[in-house]
Homo-oligomer: A and B are copies of this chain.
Amino acid sequence: MLKANRKPKAASARRGRRPGSGARAEKAAARREAILAAALDEFSARGFAAARLDDMAKRAGVAKGTIYLHFRDKEALFQEIVRSLMGPFVGTLEGVFKADIPLRTIADQVVELFVREVFGTRRKDIIRLIITEGPRFPKLAEFYYREVLSRVFSGARERLRRAVDRGEISHDSLVRFPQLIAAPGMVAIIWSGLFDRFEPLDVRELLRAHMNILFGERKTA
């Protein structure tokens, strides 16, 4: 399941199934994952249009036709990458917002989570792909909005409203515009793909500075 994911092919191994079909199913699943990983590489490197199924197949160690056994077409494969990688991550973020900890601590954790679990993994590439290819893939944008953004924003807004009520913050701008919290993270991803060679960006410091402005100064972790 690409690199950013866990539990690879355990499901069938845990239960005592017929070894034959189980092994076959496992192999099929492994292939599917290999294809997804290879496809992400290629999509990231070249963009949707320029990425070649031939290269993905080669990279995944399968024949070109095999891809079509797992995905209807190039577009379906592309969308499935996003689906399979971003879905699992949402829960983690929702958990942070629901934890009974000070807002400032949440901010710190979100920064660390972003740096470690997004910027440091393939999820960075996924988000970049959503940004770069999304305009041409309405269904992808919709999926991402429905399954990721709306849920994350919803959790964030809830917690922020509580923060306003409790006096942790003095205005409701962030409730109205949670985008203001996420914006520097997005910009960091864009920047890294475009301008890092001219002017590298210390993402963690960028985000910390941002959180300090939003929620008040705090010593470095």
Contact = CB atoms under 8 A, between A and B. Distances in A.
A155 to B, nearest CB: 15
A101 interface: no
Contacts of A183: 183-184, 186-187, 210
A49 B51 CA distance: 11
Nearest to A170: B217
A142 B193 CA distance: 11
Nearest to A198: B145
A217 B170 CA distance: 11
A179 B191 contact: yes
Contact of A206 (B46, B180, B205, B206): B180
A173 interface: yes
Nearest to A183: B183
A109 interface: no
A187 B182 contact: yes
A134 B47 CA distance: 11
Given A50-B49, A186-B186, A187-B183, A173 B213 contact: yes
Nearest to A182: B187
Given A49-B50, A131-B190, A141 B195 contact: yes
Interface string A44-63: 00110110000000000000
Interface string A83-113: 0000000000000000000000000000000
